[in-house]
Amino acid sequence: MTRTLLFLAKVAVVVAVAIWIAERPGHVTLEWFGWRVDTTVGVLIVAVLATAAAAAAAWRLWRATLSSPRSYLRRRAAARRERGYRALTHGMVAVAAGDAEEAKRQARRAGALLDEPPLTLLLSAQAAQLDGDEDAARRYFGAMMERDETSFLGLRGLLMQALRRGDDAAALELAERARAERPETPWVVQTLLDLQVKRRAWTEALPTLAEASRLGLVEGETARRQRAALLVEEARRLGSGGDREGALAKAREAHKLDPAFVPAAAEFAALLISAGKIRKATRTIESTWTRSPHPALARAYAALAPGEPPIERARRFDRLASLNGTTPEARIALAETAIKARLFGEARRHLEAAIAERPFARAYRLMAELEEADQGDSEAATQWLRRAAEAPADPAWICGRCGAARGQFHARCEACGAFATLVWREPERSEPLAVPSAPERPRLEEPAAAAAAAPDSVVAARLVT
């Protein structure tokens, strides 16, 4: 509506001007090169306008004549470019559909039609990979790396190829180059961290993990556990290389990072013991034992005084019992020490309590050993060993991703390659097993109920006397 009103207003103005000029015709005389022209103002205006329109038309015709070859070439190039992009699109669709022959055909067509190597190289590389021609794909990716705008894409393609063929050394080098080029790219940092862990490059993995944490790739408890696992591995590496001070520093950092992390506490305690710092090692073991009783801590506690008599060791282990002696793991460790000290009643009390709570195979094996040492009862020992074969498996370091069991902690699961996924627990079973009842024993040195009610130190003193 507004445009219509505007147009009508313009027409009205033109008509008004024309009427105004028609009512005042005036008189105009022109003399030029011996010619004389007498006319009115209105006619002169019309003539001028007609001349101007003719000149403009002639100028446009002249320009069109001059520019027609260039216009033709531009139109031809535009059509060629459109066909090239259409070929690129069809090629990408063929790659997505898994049609290698069509992808290669469209890549050749796009390369012939387009003067844009970055796009055609990418399509050609993907088509070659789809066709299984890794050598050709490698050449295309290498050509992409020679151009600034596609160097990172080429680098990524070569990195993925190295990972697929299992060339970890080449993949690690390419990942480091990718981080140098794009340090803030999340997948680059994550890939580099995975490769460093796989190659056991613990020193390099520590700052990479810090970068991954800064980028939000790992957070909270996961980041802390992964760093502690790396520090434990680095402490082991430095210790095996003779750098005890460096190993001690890394183990101390891991223990401070997570005081309940058994591998860190055990490694730190072992290094402290080798350095002669027995009191600090004792505090470290006892601090972690209160949170996570574990056989490795019991072994480290025994190593505090390697030459002491078994009875003295059993009395020293009363300290652990007072800190945390109620879990199955703690009771089994205490029972093992008591058996070696020939405190059979003490050992039996711990084992019966452990079996009542969770009947691990190790508790049954220790009970068989106890029957042989205490009563010389081979038949009862055989019954316990038979039950051990049917009991749930002993706790171990279990990978939370693949379920593989390991006797020693490692930062990386050797079965599936997962990082910092090992957890101390019992392996899963397809079916729960019934808890077997304890076999009848010929006699006990003292009633089990009374032994269970007495404090550990009191029972030990009573059995010694």
Q: Can you give the pLDDT at residue 457? A: 33
* 463 within some domain: no
Is 142 a domain residue? yes
Judge contact between 173 and 181, C-beta under 8 A: no
Percent of the chain with pLDDT over 90: 48
Q: Does any domain span residue 7?
A: no
The answer to whether the CB of 258 falls within 8 A of the CB of 224 is yes
Give the containing element (helix H, strand E) for 99: none
pLDDT in tens, 155-203: 888 999 999 889 999 999 999 999 998 999 999 999 999 999 999 999 9
40, part of any domain:
no
pLDDT exceeds cutoff 90 at 4: no
Query: What's the pLDDT tens digit per position in 305-356?
Result: 998 999 999 999 999 989 998 899 899 999 999 999 999 999 999 999 999 9
d(CA 295, CA 317): 13
What pLDDT sits at residue 434? 39
Look at residue 102 and tell me if it is in a domain: yes
What lies within 8 Å, CB to CB, of 169 at 6+ separation is 199
Tokens of 75: 């139109």
- Say if residue 392's pLDDT is above 80: yes
Judged against a pLDDT cut of 90, whether residue 118 lies above it is answered with no
The CA distance from 422 to 99, in Å, is: 42
Question: pLDDT class for 101, splitting at 50, 70, 90?
Answer: confident
Q: Is residue 93 one of the residues assigned to a domain?
A: yes
Token reading at 312: 């003295």
Owning domain of residue 149: 77-165
Give the model's pLDDT for residue 350.
92
- How many degrees, rounded to 5, is the angle at CA 119 between CA 116 and CA 125? 125
DSSP state of 423: E
In this prediction, residue 451 has a pLDDT band, given cuts at 50, 70 and 90, of very low
Residue 367 and residue 439 in contact, taking contact as beta carbons nearer than 8 Å: no
- Nearest one of 413, 330, 402, 342 to 372, comparing CA atoms: 342
| Number of domains the chain contains | 1
Q: Which residue has the tokens 């205006």?
A: 45
Instruction: Tell me if 403 is assigned to some domain.
Output: no
Q: CA-CA distance, 325 to 286, in Å (whole number)?
A: 12
- Token pair listed for 133: 């021609």
Q: Could you tell me the two tokens for 78? A: 């535009």
pTM score, two decimals? 0.69
Instruction: Give the pLDDT score at 429.
Output: 61
